[in-house]
Amino acid sequence: MATIDKDLLAIQEMRDAVSQANAAQAAYMQYSQQQVDSIVKAVADAAFKEAERLGKMAVEETGMGIQNHKKMKNEVASRDVYEDIKDLKTVGVIGTDRLKKVTEIASPFGVIAGIVPTTNPTSTAIFKTLISLKTRNGLVLSPHPYAVKCTKEALDICRVAAENAGAPEGLLQCLTMSSMEATQQLMKHPQIHLILATGGGALVKAAYSSGKPAYGVGPGNVPAYIEKSANIQKAARQLVQSKSFDNGTICATEQAIIVDKAIAEQVLAELKKQHAYILNAEEKLKMEKLISPVPGKVNPQIVGKSAVSLAHSIGIMVPEETKVLVGLETMIGKNIPFSLEKLSPIFAFYTVEDSTEAKQVMVDLLNIGGRGHSCSIHTENAALAEQFSLDLPVSRIVVNTLSSIGAVGGTTGLAPSFTLGCGTFGGNITSDNITARHLLNIKRMAYGIKDVEVPAPEFDLHPVVENIKAQAPSLDTEVVQQIVDQVLKQITLQTK
Q: What is the mean pLDDT of residues 240-247?
A: 98
| Domain annotation covers residue 414 | no
Scored b (16 or more CB within 10 A) or e, 127-160 reads bbbbbbbbbbbbbbbbbbebbbbbbbbbbebbbe
Q: What is the mean pLDDT of residues 277-289?
A: 97
Q: Which of 107-111, 180-184, 362-366, 447-451 has the lowest mean pLDDT?
A: 180-184
206 shares a domain with 277: no
Prediction pTM value: 0.90
Question: Could you tell me the pLDDT band of residue 1, with boundaries at 50, 70 and 90?
Answer: very low
Task: Give φ, ψ of 133 to 5 degrees.
Answer: -65, -40
Strands of the sheet with 92-97, listed across from one edge? 92-97, 102-108, 440-446
Task: Please check whether residue 420 is in contact with residue 217, taking contact to mean a CB–CB distance below 8 angstroms.
Answer: yes
232 shares a domain with 162: no
Cite the active site residues.
251
CA angle (416 as vertex; 133, 342 as ends), nearest 5? 115
pLDDT given for residue 204 in this prediction: 79
342 shares a domain with 226: yes
The residue among 470 and 331 whose pLDDT is bigger is 331
| Domain annotation covers residue 349 | yes
226 shares a domain with 205: no
Percent of the chain with pLDDT strictly greater than 70: 92
395 shares a domain with 284: yes
| Domain annotation covers residue 461 | no
Pairwise CA distance, residues 489 & 485, whole Å: 6
Q: Is the pLDDT of residue 430 over 70?
A: yes
Q: What is the mean pLDDT of residues 448-459?
A: 86
393 shares a domain with 332: yes
Q: What is the mean pLDDT of residues 486-493?
A: 67
| Domain annotation covers residue 419 | no
234 shares a domain with 200: no
Question: Could you tell me the pLDDT band of residue 461, with boundaries at 50, 70 and 90?
Answer: low
| Domain annotation covers residue 402 | yes
| SS3 category, 435 | coil
| SS3 category, 380 | coil
Percent of the chain with pLDDT strictly greater than 90: 83
193 shares a domain with 154: yes
* CATH number where 256 lies: 3.40.309.10
- DSSP bridge pairs for 113: 140, 195
Average pLDDT, the chain: 93
pLDDT digits (tens, 9 = 90+) for 54-89: 999 999 999 999 999 999 999 999 999 999 999 999
130 shares a domain with 166: yes
| Domain annotation covers residue 492 | no
pLDDT given for residue 441 in this prediction: 97
Q: What is the mean pLDDT of residues 258-275?
A: 98
Strand 254-260 to 194-197 pairing? unpaired
Q: What is the mean pLDDT of residues 364-382?
A: 96
Per the structure, how many domains does the chain have?
2
| Domain annotation covers residue 374 | yes
**Residue 51 exposure: Cα atoms within 13 Å on the Cβ side:** 19
158 shares a domain with 263: no
12 shares a domain with 124: yes
| Domain annotation covers residue 184 | yes
Last residue within a domain, chosen from 392, 409, 426: 409
358 shares a domain with 277: yes
Question: Could you tell me the pLDDT band of residue 384, with boundaries at 50, 70 and 90?
Answer: very high
* CATH number where 70 lies: 3.40.605.10
| Residue range(s) defining the domain that contains residue 150 | 6-217+435-445
Pairwise CA distance, residues 202 & 300, whole Å: 15
